[in-house]
Structures are given as structure tokens and as C-alpha cells.
């Protein structure tokens, strides 16, 4: 868990933008696992920001 938070803190925004670009470039060849991975990434960032705010 600590490792994932450390990875998220390093380049969350750039990683998120890159994966979004990658998904949009693929057009309709998006797999369910890719969507899940991207959503979990966003969810983790949101959770991290929520924890920091409180």
C-alpha cells in the first residue's frame, strides 16, 4: 500500500493524462480491464486528495 501511494505521488497527473491519451488513441479497442485500471487510478488520486484535505 505504501508503495502504491509513493508511485501515485510521483507522477499521478502525467500518468493519468498518458493513459487517457492511450485509451482515446485506441478508439473502440478498449478492454474492460483498461477502463477498470484507469478508473481505479482516478479513484486512488481522489482518495489521496481527500485524505490530504482532512
Give how many domains the chain has, as a whole number: 1
Domain of residue 18: give its range: 2-53
Considering only CA atoms, give the Rg of the chain: 12
Collect all residues with Cβ–Cβ distance below 8 Å to 15 and sequence separation of at least 6: 41
pTM of the model as a whole = 0.41
Residue 26 is predicted with a pLDDT of 57
48 within 8 A of 8, measured Cβ to Cβ: yes
Residue 41 is predicted with a pLDDT of 86
Q: Tens of pLDDT along the chain (54 residues)?
A: 566 666 666 655 565 666 666 655 555 556 677 778 888 888 999 998 888 887
13 within 8 A of 49, measured Cβ to Cβ: no
Cell numbers 481505479: residue: 40
Amino acid at each position: 500500500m505504501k508503495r502504491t501511494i509513493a508511485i501515485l505521488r510521483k507522477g499521478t497527473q502525467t500518468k493519468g493524462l498518458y493513459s487517457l491519451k492511450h485509451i482515446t488513441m485506441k478508439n473502440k479497442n478498449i478492454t474492460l480491464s483498461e477502463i477498470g485500471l484507469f478508473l481505479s487510478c482516478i479513484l486512488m488520486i481522489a482518495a489521496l486528495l481527500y485524505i490530504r484535505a482532512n
